[in-house]
């Protein structure tokens, strides 16, 4: 495989992630704020959320069933639920067209785009270190077989 997974991100998207990389040295922080951030990360680091985020990032506006088909293995219930949460958090917009049969479009907001950029590093890490992790697991499992 000459071209690994990291190619899933366009150069422009990766460049956009750079805005998250210029900061000051560490200090102490408000524990209330820390709890909120932890809660937010827990919310947003969800499996389905990450997959839908990436999907809309690379394919643009999609309707309900298109997302459902693209995100392999998701049930209708989780699809609705995840999309609703993401809409509530301001990550995507939900546009209902008053036609029959119903048509609903989903697209990322700028906030959603920025989160996608922030997650970019994690995707790249995962695809780069996939083999390393599998090696580590094999060695760990062999240790006390």
Q: Which of 100, 141, 142, 145 binds a second copy (CB under 8 A)?
A: 141
Tell me which of DNA, a second copy, none is bound by residue 17, counting a contact when its beta carbon lies within the kind-specific cut-off of 5 to 8 angstroms.
Answer: a second copy
Which distant-in-sequence residues (6+ apart) come within 8 Å of 109 by Cβ? 90, 91, 92, 93
Shortest distance in whole angstroms from residue 19 CB to DNA? 30
Is 133 an interacting residue with respect to a second copy (CB under 8 A)?
A: yes
Is 130 an interacting residue with respect to a second copy (CB under 8 A)?
A: yes
By residue count, the chain amounts to 145
Which distant-in-sequence residues (6+ apart) come within 8 Å of 89 by Cβ? 43, 44
Which distant-in-sequence residues (6+ apart) come within 8 Å of 90 by Cβ? 109, 111, 112
Measured CA to CA, the distance from residue 45 to residue 39 in angstroms comes to 10
Contact residues: a second copy, CB under 8 A: 1, 3-11, 14-15, 17-18, 20-27, 29-30, 33-34, 36-38, 40-42, 44-47, 50-51, 58, 87-90, 111, 114-115, 117-130, 132-133, 135-137, 140-141
């Amino acid at each position: 495989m000459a071209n690994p997974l990291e190619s899933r991100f366009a150069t422009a998207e990766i460049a956009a992630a750079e805005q998250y990389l210029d900061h000051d040295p560490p200090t102490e922080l408000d524990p209330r704020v820390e709890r909120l951030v932890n809660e937010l990360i827990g919310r947003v680091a969800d499996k389905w959320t990450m997959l839908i985020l990436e999907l809309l990032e690379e394919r643009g506006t999609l309707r309900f069933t298109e997302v459902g088909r693209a995100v392999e293995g998701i049930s209708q219930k989780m699809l609705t639920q995840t999309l609703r949460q993401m809409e509530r958090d301001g990550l995507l917009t939900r546009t209902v067209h008053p036609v029959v049969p119903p048509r609903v479009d989903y697209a990322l907001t700028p906030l959603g785009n920025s989160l996608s950029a922030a997650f970019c590093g994690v995707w790249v890490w995962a695809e780069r270190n996939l083999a390393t992790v599998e090696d580590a697991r094999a060695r760990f499992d062999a240790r006390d077989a």
